[in-house]
């Protein structure tokens, strides 16, 4: 991992537009950092990347393991003109962007587990966390920060005990310049998709790459767990599930578990 170093120049040469990039050695969380520094005047596409996070987090404040140098931990500032109830589209568009970038740079087949996990060979290699600020008057987003954590390589001491059965790395052999290329390819695609969220160009790909459709899943709501079959994903990226008593419901976020 000492040969694949993240650098500004290395990223910039693959970017389709000159998005501002900031690289930090170490931070609690790139999402939290970007939230603090972003304001009305911060440009869209502003990206913060950390070599390590001490308090990386996922949804419901769960820990996202972010060890030094084996992964990419990045947050991108977006300013899409969407309302609160379409925010899930940012997460889905990001999932598609990440899969496409992985395939282009690493030639690996990447799939999506609704809503926000990227899977390779049945292991989670990436998690996405989108967090937005809403203008109370317009009910539209002022900005959305999209955080992406990728396990590019297996950490030198292996994955932590609590994730070792579910986590995987994108590649097994170190490649010089790979992280820079991946970062740039992800930024290029996310900014482009986020300008066209209403056209939902990514939606068909999102569905095709999703591994949950047709599978038996456990729907988790608080302490309640119910078995259901995942039937479809609708145009708002909601998951249609059918419970054992044949009742159906559309899940718009929340939690399902699926044995991979």
Binding-site ranges for ligand BT5 (CB under 6 A): 29-31, 53, 56-60, 62-65, 73-75, 116, 124, 127-129, 147-149, 151, 163, 166-167
Q: 141-151 and 71-78 as β-strands: parallel, antiparallel, unpaired?
A: antiparallel
112 burial type by CB count under 10 A (0-12 exposed, 13-18 middle, 19+ buried): buried
Residue 33 or 141 having the CB closest to ligand BT5: 33
> Rounded to the nearest whole angstrom, what is the least distance from the CB of residue 228 to ligand BT5 in the complex?
19
Residue 106 or 140 with smaller CB distance to ligand BT5: 106
- Nearer Cβ to ligand BT5, position 63 or 221? 63
Residue with Cβ nearer ligand BT5 (8 or 248): 8
C-alpha to C-alpha distances, 141 to 40, 76, 80, 82, nearest whole angstrom: 12, 15, 7, 6
> For residue 57, which of 126, 149, 150, 170 has the smallest C-alpha distance?
149
Shortest Å, Cβ 238 to ligand BT5: 17
Residue 32 C-beta: closest distance to ligand BT5, Å: 6
CA terminus-to-terminus distance, the chain: 28
How far apart CA 77 and CA 56 sit, in angstroms, is: 17
Strand partners, 256: 219
Burial class (CB in 10 A: 0-12, 13-18, 19+), 106: middle
Q: Write down the least CB distance from residue 124 to ligand BT5, Å.
A: 4
* Shortest spacing between CB 160 and ligand BT5, in angstroms: 8
10's tokens = 């290395």
Please say which residue, 129 or 241, places its beta carbon nearer to ligand BT5.
129
- Least separation in angstroms between CB 127 and ligand BT5: 2
- 163 in Cβ contact with 151 (< 8 Å): no
Q: 90, 98, 96: which is closest to 194 by C-alpha?
A: 90
What is the spatial distance between Cα 156 and Cα 152, in angstroms, rounded to a whole number?
12
Q: Of the two residues 163 and 205, which places its CB atom closer to ligand BT5 in the complex?
A: 163
105 or 152: whose CB is closer to ligand BT5? 152
Nearest approach, Cβ of 84 to ligand BT5 (angstroms)?
Answer: 20
Query: In whole angstroms, what is the distance from residue 145 CA to residue 68 CA?
Result: 22
């Amino acid at each position: 991992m000492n040969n694949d170093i993240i650098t500004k120049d290395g990223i910039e040469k693959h970017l389709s537009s000159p998005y501002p990039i900031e690289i930090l050695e170490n931070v609690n969380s790139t999402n939290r950092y970007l939230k603090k520094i972003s304001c009305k005047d911060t440009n869209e596409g502003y990206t913060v990347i950390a070599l390590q996070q001490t308090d990386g987090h996922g949804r419901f404040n769960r820990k996202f393991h972010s060890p030094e140098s084996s992964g990419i931990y990045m947050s991108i500032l977006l300013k899409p003109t969407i309302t609160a109830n379409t925010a899930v589209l940012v997460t889905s568009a990001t999932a598609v962007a990440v899969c496409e970038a992985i395939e282009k740079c690493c030639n690996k087949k990447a799939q999506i587990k609704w809503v926000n996990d990227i899977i390779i060979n049945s292991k989670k290699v990436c998690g996405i966390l989108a967090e937005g600020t809403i203008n109370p008057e317009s009910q539209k987003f002022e900005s959305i920060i999209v955080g992406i954590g990728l396990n590019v390589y297996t950490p030198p001491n292996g994955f932590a005990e609590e994730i070792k059965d579910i986590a995987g790395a994108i590649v097994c052999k170190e490649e010089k310049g790979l992280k820079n290329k991946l970062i740039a390819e992800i930024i290029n695609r996310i900014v482009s998709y986020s300008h066209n969220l209403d056209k939902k160009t990514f939606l068909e790909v999102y569905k095709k790459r999703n591994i949950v459709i047709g599978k038996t899943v456990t729907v988790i709501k608080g302490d309640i767990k119910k078995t259901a079959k995942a039937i479809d994903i609708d145009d708002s990226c909601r998951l249609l599930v059918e419970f054992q008593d044949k009742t159906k419901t559309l899940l718009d976020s929340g939690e399902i578990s699926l044995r991979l």
